[in-house]
Amino acid sequence: MDRTEGFNPALGFHALTPLYDRVVALTTRERTFKRALLDQAAIEPGHQVLDVGCGIGTLALAAQRRQPGVRVSALDADAAILAIAARKARHAGADIAFDLGRSSALPYADERFDRVVSSLFFHHLSWGDKLLTAREMHRVLRPAGELHVADWGRAGGLVSRTAFLAVQLLDGFDTTSDNIAGMLPVLFASAGFRQVEETRRIPTALGIVSLYRAVKGGAAPRQRSAGGAA
């Protein structure tokens, strides 16, 4: 894996970054799961929205198009992929703030956002960085703000589990094992979120993409098991 600058670039290698848009669209049913994620997020006029691990900006752009007056910020640690995202936004006439930074130390004030969204990002992180990221997402959300995540989820049958080996070979077995073990709901609860649930499971050519929802809570963290229909 190419670990230049201390992180894994899109598709594992900087040279493959320009292909990311096409590869994701062809292999993950991207339109389906991102449309479902934004339906679930129910973004309202005036909301402040943060896309963490925004990649090429597809989700951030879709969020802004959904609702006039929404203010969208998007963050990624890869300057090359942020440049692609910024170009896409300019061509679309979209006003999105693309910020370079780490998900484990978000450069935003406490309680700034109404919604935090993320797609196909958590499986790139170690468990420790997953937890730091979830805690940071909790910090920057306003009271009763919501987290909405789409990522590789609990393994399905033999066919989807075998297909997912391609993702693990590219992105690493250590970081992806938490996802296919169904641990993301446990992670979000450990970070202080409540009403944590897996809301949907979407089969793709490379495995199951799960949708998750969680609400910022002020009480002590508690764990809930994952749900959702197969």
pLDDT tens, residue order, the chain (230 aa): 333 344 555 545 454 545 555 556 566 678 899 999 999 999 999 999 999 999 999 999 999 998 878 999 999 999 999 999 999 999 999 999 999 999 999 999 999 999 999 999 999 999 999 999 999 999 999 999 999 999 999 988 888 888 889 889 988 999 999 999 999 999 999 999 999 999 999 999 889 999 999 999 754 343 333 444 33
pLDDT of residue 191: 97
Q: What is the pTM for the complete model shown?
A: 0.84
Q: Which residues pair with 72 in a beta bridge?
A: 49
pLDDT of residue 25: 57
What's residue 156's pLDDT?
A: 81
| Among candidate residues 2, 24, 26, 48, the one with its CA nearest the CA of residue 151 | 24
Which domains occur in the chain, in start order?
4-216 (3.40.50.150)
